[in-house]
Chains A and B, each alone.
Chain A
Amino acid sequence: CSCIRNQSFSSAEIISGVIKSVKKDGEWKVLIVDHMTTRILSSCCKMSEILAEGVTIVEDINKRREPISSLEAIYLITPSEKSVRGLIGDFKDAAFTYKAAHIFFTDTCPDALFAEIGRSRVSKFVKTLKEINVAFLPYESQVFSLDDPTTLYSFYSSQANEAKDKMLENVAEQIATLCDTLKEYPAVRYRKGPEENARLAEEVYQRLIAHKAENPSMGEGPDKARSQLIIVDRGFDPISPVLHELTFQAMAYDLLDIKQDIYSYQTTGIGNAKEKDVLLDEDDELWVQLRHMHIADVTKKVTELLRTFCESKRMCTDNANIKDLSQILKKMPQYQKELSMYSTHLHLAEACMKKFKASLDKLCEVEQDLAMGANADGEPLKDAMKSIVPVLLDNDVGAYDKIRIILLFIFHKKKGIGEENLAKLIQHANIQTDKSIIYNLQNLGCNIIGRNAGKTLPDRKERTESTYQLSRWTPIIKDIMENAIEDKLDKKQWPFIAEPAPINTTQTAVSARFGHWHKNKSPTEYRSGPRLIVFVIGGVSYSEMRCAYEVTRATDGKWEVLIGSSNILTPTSFLNDLKTLDQVPNPDP
């Protein structure tokens, strides 16, 4: 067998490159993945794309599988014990699960596991063995995720936990891999304060050095010296993940039950009414256009776009709205995919507004006042308690919504509140069973029970753009992003691990963006301008993701801001994660 243990650094073609490289005309293959690679692959490619490259079925390595011994198998797996055992097991004894194996590890395979493979029967069937760098999930064109929701627990739990050190190393390695893939060698900085920030930053720095030794092209380019990587903790802005946002994506994921980016709704098309599942990802061009817009603008925009569309196809409609869509579809079935997009987003917007009108109207006003410390007219909040108590006493408001109000109240106080006051609020709200959520925020460094002067939330930038009344809040990370780009980010509060090289101020032309690197674009299409990469320990919220795009746009493309975290938060998932911070960890599922 010709086992080649080498490192593949193809950035733009990573996954499809893998599959293309073993494609043989006329021969179909089986693709075998584990949990992590399923997510990575799913975010990079569609089934029809890999089918076009010869993959006819995708299997989970951890499930018992039928043998398909007439086909060769591609194993795209993490070099973990579990996955390697699965691989070895497929060819153990007399098993002939597949005709041959092409193995692609998403990271360096530990020597012990590699030796095990060499010793076992599978080695006779291996036709390819490669390590590629794909340790992270490109969730969106400017957002990455490490797909590990247990990180908050590992970093911040009150229980002694051995997982923390290993987790820190893993995270550091994944961040370094990301930089490697992007050909970036950024200056690493972190928010001074929590110990984890400094430790992680240092670890990332070391890993970057190691990666650069193997891949000297990292950071090459005149502007790349200005690239920065900022490590920040979730606790630095506890408001953004808790606030009710009214921009489309953030609102939809908060209010509706959207799991794995799939939105389900009832609709009538050509056939009868049925449940339709839609994936909200960047392949949906309309979603990309709408996702950061304020909900008030969304329905307007979609209706306008639909009307324009119908007019351009000479379709006479008086009302281009949801009810007419099935009629329009019957007249123009060739535009099913486009019409389907309009239908999805009209339904989605409608669903959001329905939820909003049902209960959130009043809540949002109170939340914004608390977050901003002032009302819509700019008058400082005088008696916050007065505005929140009616909400807490209202039985129609859900427990988590009440908790969010209480938290915003506490954050508004900046230094925390007295133990007795908190107990009273919890009692009014009747949320005793969930009260750990509130107390556990102290693990993140937030002031909950205030005694004397502690850390306060950072000073905010003055923002003069007009905003909707219920959307006055700007995530704190936006200030940080803007300051970092303008080189105004305070070095004492945000120190560098190593002093960056002196910056020359000449700006070079901007080429292509990170944007479609995972969609099969040619590998030469990489960005020459500097990047700002932000990593939040413990989860990033949709509103913060939005900021990366807003800030990038404001630089006119000179900078590209990427943001990512161990996982992506909805307010509910964040509160759920917080709830268990003081508990004993669950055994491995």
Chain B
Amino acid sequence: HQSENHMHLQGLDNETETPVILVSVELDNSPALAEIFSQAQGIHKDIQLIRLEVKRLCEQNSCMFHGTSTSTTERDSIGADIKARAENVLARLRDMDGTAHKLEETHGANSAVTRIARTQYACLSNGFHNAMFDYNEAEMSHRENCKAQIQRQMEIVGHEVTGEEVEEMIEKGQWNIFSDNVVTEGRTARLALSQVEKRHQELLDLESRIKSIHEIFLDIALLVEEQGSMLDSIQNNVQKTDEGIQDALFKIGRAKHVWHLCKIKLLILHFPLFFS
């Protein structure tokens, strides 16, 4: 993106009667802006991809209840995908944070480009947090569904269990389903018991997926915490002062001044018609 110099004939200089041409030099913030927007776009895309993965996971999870056989490996691979993307997003967010810091040092905290960087960073972090929260919710709701199914199947084999008991069984790893009062004969019973085993395995896999992503959740929580929730308030985002703007405007002023001094040269080079 090239800087455009806009030239404008302001009038005649009173003393010398030479045309005065004002030039406003575009502040060179567009490359910085372009970089931020491109970084933001990349992170945004990754977050969208995480959302898509979460959707896929939900579909996989609900398949289970519609009789379609699904494999745990599918779910695990989605989980691993999400984990990898999340780590990637975290790294890119850290990069963006770094960029924002550098911009702050070069252009000042109040400069447009710094504020744009900070806002993008804050909103993307927030969006990321939400996407990962949705992932957690998807796993948690699947967990509840598995538990419920286990309960139902246990009923079928004549051994009713409460939700609490299922929790205990999961935690302690005790699956005393082959105790008294359990019907183990017959096709129905065998099917039910095999379902229970499957769901049990799923729950274990789910737990391990969640555990493996715990670190990432901690990192995200820290990220969000560092920003504070106030950054989402618009009032907080409106430009507060015009400190530092003086510097920026001065640069434009200087550019005008420089061109004013060179106006004779300029006229000859660019406006030969004036002298015809």
Instruction: Spell out A's residues near B (CB within 8 Å).
Output: 28, 33, 38-39, 41-42, 45-48, 50-52, 56-60, 63-71, 93-96, 260, 262, 269-271, 276-279, 313-314, 329-330, 333-334, 336-337, 340
* Binary contact readout B28-61 vs A (1 if CB under 8 angstroms, 0 otherwise): 0110010001000000000000000000000000
Nearest A residue to B139 via CB reads A334
List chain A residues, Cβ under 8 A from B177: none
CA of A192 to CA of B85 in the docked complex: distance in angstroms?
A: 67
Query: How many A-B contacts are there with CB distance less than 8 Å?
Result: 148
CA of A71 to CA of B218 in the docked complex: distance in angstroms?
A: 37
Return 19 A-B CB contacts under 8 Å, by A number. Answer: A42-B234, A48-B123, A58-B237, A58-B238, A63-B241, A67-B27, A70-B26, A93-B10, A94-B24, A96-B26, A262-B230, A269-B222, A270-B222, A279-B232, A333-B218, A334-B217, A334-B221, A336-B221, A336-B225
CA of A453 to CA of B230 in the docked complex: distance in angstroms?
A: 53
Interface assignment of B169: CB less than 8 Å from any CB of chain A:
no
CA of A262 to CA of B222 in the docked complex: distance in angstroms?
A: 21
Given contacts A270-B218, A314-B167, contact A48 B229 (CB under 8 A): no
CA of A333 to CA of B237 in the docked complex: distance in angstroms?
A: 27
Interface assignment of B133: CB less than 8 Å from any CB of chain A:
yes
Given contacts A58-B239, A60-B238, A66-B111, contact A278 B6 (CB under 8 A): no
Q: Are B239 and A96 in contact (CB under 8 A)?
A: no
CA of A260 to CA of B112 in the docked complex: distance in angstroms?
A: 24
Interface assignment of B100: CB less than 8 Å from any CB of chain A:
no
CA of A568 to CA of B84 in the docked complex: distance in angstroms?
A: 49
Q: How far is the CB of A266 from chain B (nearest CB, A)?
A: 13
* Contact of B238 (CB < 8 Å), options: A38, A48, A313, A336: A38
Q: How far is the CB of A152 from chain B (nearest CB, A)?
A: 23
Nearest A residue to B27 via CB reads A67
CA of A65 to CA of B241 in the docked complex: distance in angstroms?
A: 9
Given contacts A271-B225, A277-B229, contact A66 B248 (CB under 8 A): yes
List chain B residues, Cβ under 8 A from A67: 24, 26-27, 252
* Contact of B127 (CB < 8 Å), options: A48, A69, A278, A340: A48
List chain A residues, Cβ under 8 A from B140: 313
How many residues does chain B have at the interface if contact means C-beta atoms less than 8 Å apart? 59
A-B residue pairs, 6 tightest by C-beta = A333-B221, A42-B235, A333-B217, A64-B242, A42-B234, A334-B136
Interface assignment of B226: CB less than 8 Å from any CB of chain A:
yes
Given contacts A96-B6, A333-B218, contact A47 B119 (CB under 8 A): yes
Nearest B residue to A28 via CB reads B37
* Contact of A279 (CB < 8 Å), options: B4, B30, B230: B230
Interface assignment of B214: CB less than 8 Å from any CB of chain A:
yes
Q: A270-B222, A313-B140, A334-B220 are in contact. List 6 more A-B contacts (CB 8 A).
A: A48-B232, A56-B116, A57-B116, A66-B245, A70-B1, A260-B235
CA of A56 to CA of B120 in the docked complex: distance in angstroms?
A: 7
Q: Are A96 and B24 in contact (CB under 8 A)?
A: yes
Q: Are B126 and A48 in contact (CB under 8 A)?
A: yes
Given contacts A58-B238, A63-B241, A336-B224, contact A330 B218 (CB under 8 A): yes
Q: Are A333 and B235 in contact (CB under 8 A)?
A: no
CA of A269 to CA of B225 in the docked complex: distance in angstroms?
A: 7
Nearest A residue to B224 via CB reads A336
* Contact of B27 (CB < 8 Å), options: A42, A66, A314: A66
Q: Are A279 and B233 in contact (CB under 8 A)?
A: yes
Interface assignment of B82: CB less than 8 Å from any CB of chain A:
no
Given contacts A58-B237, A336-B224, contact A65 B245 (CB under 8 A): yes
* Contact of B230 (CB < 8 Å), options: A56, A69, A277, A340: A277
Interface assignment of B228: CB less than 8 Å from any CB of chain A:
yes
Q: How far is the CB of B128 from chain A (nearest CB, A)?
A: 11
Q: How far is the CB of A498 from chain B (nearest CB, A)?
A: 40
Q: How far is the CB of B145 from chain A (nearest CB, A)?
A: 15
Given contacts A38-B234, A68-B112, A70-B1, contact A270 B22 (CB under 8 A): no
List chain A residues, Cβ under 8 A from B27: 66-67, 69
Q: How far is the CB of B37 from chain A (nearest CB, A)?
A: 6
Q: Are A58 and B245 in contact (CB under 8 A)?
A: no
Given contacts A271-B226, A329-B221, contact A94 B22 (CB under 8 A): yes
CA of A28 to CA of B249 in the docked complex: distance in angstroms?
A: 23
List chain B residues, Cβ under 8 A from A277: 228-230
Interface assignment of B258: CB less than 8 Å from any CB of chain A:
no
CA of A96 to CA of B26 in the docked complex: distance in angstroms?
A: 8
Which of A59, A95, A270, A276 has the most chain B CB atoms closer than 10 A to its own CB?
Answer: A270
List chain B residues, Cβ under 8 A from A42: 233-235
List chain B residues, Cβ under 8 A from A330: 218
* Binary contact readout B116-131 vs A (1 if CB under 8 angstroms, 0 otherwise): 1001101100110100
